[in-house]
Structure formats: C-alpha cells, structure tokens
Structure 1
Amino acid sequence: MWRETGRWVTNPERRDDSRRVEWNLLQSRTMKRTLKAFGLLAIAAYLAAVVAALIIKLTRPSHGDEESDTVDLVTIFTGLELASRARSFLGGTVLTMFGGAEIDLRNATPDPEGACLEVRTIFGGTEILVPEEWNVVLDAQSILGGSENRAGASGATEGPTLRVHALTVFGGLDISSRPRSEA
C-alpha cells in the first residue's frame, strides 16, 4: 500500500479489499448452507432407517426357538437371547436393527454338512457363542462397523464348520468360542 497525502491507497496490482471481503462472506455463506444441507440429509437418512426398521418389525416376525434346526431371528429396537439345543442345526438368518442379539450355539449339534448363518446388523450388536471344537468361517462386509471372529483359537480342524456371512452397518458382530455350558 502506498501513502498518498494522508490516506492509504490500495496497490493497483492487488484486488480491491472490499471485493476480497465480499468474496470471503460469500464463501462463508456457501459453506454454512452446504453443512446445513449435509446435516439435514444425515437426519433424513437416520429417520428413513428408523421408519424402515419399524416397517420390517411389523412385517417380518421372528421364527425359531431353542429346539429349531433353522432360525429366522429378527430383533428391532430390543434385545434377543437364544440358547440353541438343536439336534441338527442348519443355520438361518439373524437381523438386528437398533438392538442386540446373543446367539448361543454351545449346546447345539450342527448338521453333518455344516451350518450357515446370515447375519445383518444395523445400528446394533450381535454376539455368537460357539463350542471350542467348532470351526468358524467368517465372510463379513462392514460399513462403519466391525466384525470379529475369535472362535477356533484352539486350531481345531476336525470339528464341524459354521459359515457366517455378515453385513454390519454402524454396528458390530462378535463370534467367540467358550466351553459348552451345562444344560
């Protein structure tokens, strides 16, 4: 800037200061609008997930009990505990939304061909307990969530196999092995 008879004059090679201030204000307003739009979009997505969960809860009941060889378990906005004593467990599906599920397979006998569980966990948690002699194969997809297979740490290869196909979204799946419980 140069001094010219008692006042400051803008360097002609630089942009006018008032234009720079206007540009910064425009950028600030645009950023605020963008953040507000993303915030509203996130709230709308969450509300859509809640509505979808309510619709699923009303239209898809849970099937299966401790003696069932196949299960179709649905838990939404609540918790579920199942301690299976099936004589030829084949597998099934588990859907957990905004809640939790504990599936205890330690007293179940798997089918000789093995068993397969499809687990979907959205905004919740699912825990699967298996006997130490079972082999567990986990095929998991996670979106801002996680899946962990801590079963079969003993290295058993001769035992029955449980295949778990999982999708976790903002949630978690934990598979662990513990000694069989006394029935």
Structure 2
Amino acid sequence: MGIPVPARPSDGDRERVAELLQQACGEGRLTLEEFSVRVGAVWSAESESELALVTRDIAPTPVVGSARTVEKIVTVFSQTKRRGRWRLRSRRLGTYTVFGSTKIDLRDVATAEDVIEINGCCVFGELKIIVPQGVEVEVTGVVALSSQETRLAAVPRLPGTPEIRVRVTTWFSNLEIRSRPPSLEPAIQDD
C-alpha cells in the first residue's frame, strides 16, 4: 500500500480563501502587503493543509492603527510621509504636492477595493509611491518639465490584488513609483 497523496485544493476552494483574505484586508485585519503575500500562497498551495495555513492566524478584529482613514494628502512647502498601517475607505486617494515632498507607502494600507486610484498633481515637488510586489500599476498623467520613473519588480501579478491607477500631473517635479518585496521589518523604516 502506498502513502495516500493529499488532494490538491480546487479552484473554488482557492477563490473562497482569496475572498476571505480580501474581506480581512478591507476590514483592516490584513495590510495590502500581507494580503498580497497570502493570496500568492493561496494560488501556490499544493494541499488543503497549506491552504488552511494561509488564514489560520488572521486577527479576529482589526489591529490598532488601522482606523486612520485617509482620502486626501496635501503637502505645501513641507514633507509628508504616509506609511505604516492606515485605511483607505474608498477607491480614490487625492494627492497634491506644491514645493514639497510626499511619500505614500501602500504596502500597509487596508482596503477592500479592487482598484485604487491615486489622482492629483505635483508642482515643483517630489511624489514617491511604494507598492507591494505582484500588484498591477497603471500610470497616466501629464509630465511637463518633470521626471517620471516606474520601477516594478518583474514578478507575475498576484490574483485577487487590487490594480493601482496613478493619474498625476507633474510640473517641474519628480514622480517615482516602485515595488518592494514584503519586509519582515516594521513599516516605519525610513528610505
């Protein structure tokens, strides 16, 4: 008699677990980065037990710090950094930078949206957006006498992750969008 081979999870099982993860992210129990890593594990799971491990330690309630809701970031003659755990309740985030520097780290954002839209302008400033690896990013907007750089890791898109659409007009500015791998360190590290 041979050793029984565990059954591979069905696509339906994987979709149900991915939906649970998306709900946990929307409720603030997972960050976008944690969601991205876990949904990748869902689609690569070889057995039902591996699939069960993906959701076993999700907090039953939102963790501290996830209640900060942000809809707009305005920076004038200043520097703004939005990082750590924060909540995006709608699909739109406005960002306006004039003679300043704005850094938006989406790796620890809590959202249930399928699409995140970042709209705004940057005039005589700098806007840096960091996304988790495996997230699709679309960049549009007027670039006038400015620099725009998109550096995303060459990894496959993780199913179930939101698409990020950046529509920012830049005048005499620098716009940088880059992906970063999941970190084991707290998100409060400086770049």
TM-score for the superposition, normalised by structure 1: 0.57
When the two chains are superposed, the root-mean-square deviation of aligned CA atoms in Å is 2.2
Identical-pair percentage: 29
- In proportion to residue count, which structure has more strand? 1
Tell me the residue number matched to 1:76: 76
Q: Residue 107 of structure 2: SS of its match in structure 1?
A: coil
Tell me the residue number matched to 2:26: none
Contact 2:153 2:180 in 1 (8 A): no
How far apart are the structure 1 equivalents of 2:69 and 2:134?
A: 19
How far the C-alpha of 1:126 sits from its partner, in A, is 0.5
Contact 1:140 1:147 in 2 (8 A): no
Instruction: Note closer, same or farther for the CA distance 1:69–1:113 as it changes in structure 2 (3 Å cut).
Output: farther
Unmatched 5+ residue regions in structure 1? 1-64
Tell me the residue number matched to 1:142: 143
Tell me the residue number matched to 1:104: 105
Instruction: Note closer, same or farther for the CA distance 1:144–1:84 as it changes in structure 2 (3 Å cut).
Output: same
Instruction: Note closer, same or farther for the CA distance 1:113–1:171 as it changes in structure 2 (3 Å cut).
Output: same
Unmatched 5+ residue regions in structure 2? 1-64, 187-191
Aligned length: 119
Contact 1:136 1:152 in 2 (8 A): no
Tell me the residue number matched to 2:168: 166
How far the C-alpha of 1:142 sits from its partner, in A, is 0.6
1:52-100: CA deviation from partner (whole Å, max 9, x where unpaired): xxxxxxxxxxxxx974454211101110101152455533111111010
Tell me the residue number matched to 2:23: none
How far the C-alpha of 1:129 sits from its partner, in A, is 0.5
Instruction: Note closer, same or farther for the CA distance 1:67–1:127 as it changes in structure 2 (3 Å cut).
Output: farther
Greater relative contact order (Cα 8 A, min sep 6): structure 1 or 2?
2
Instruction: Note closer, same or farther for the CA distance 1:102–1:170 as it changes in structure 2 (3 Å cut).
Output: same
Tell me the residue number matched to 2:177: 175
How far the C-alpha of 1:148 sits from its partner, in A, is 1.9
How far apart are the structure 2 equivalents of 1:84 and 1:161?
A: 20
1:112-168: CA deviation from partner (whole Å, max 9, x where unpaired): 321111131100100001100211111121110122221353131623211110100
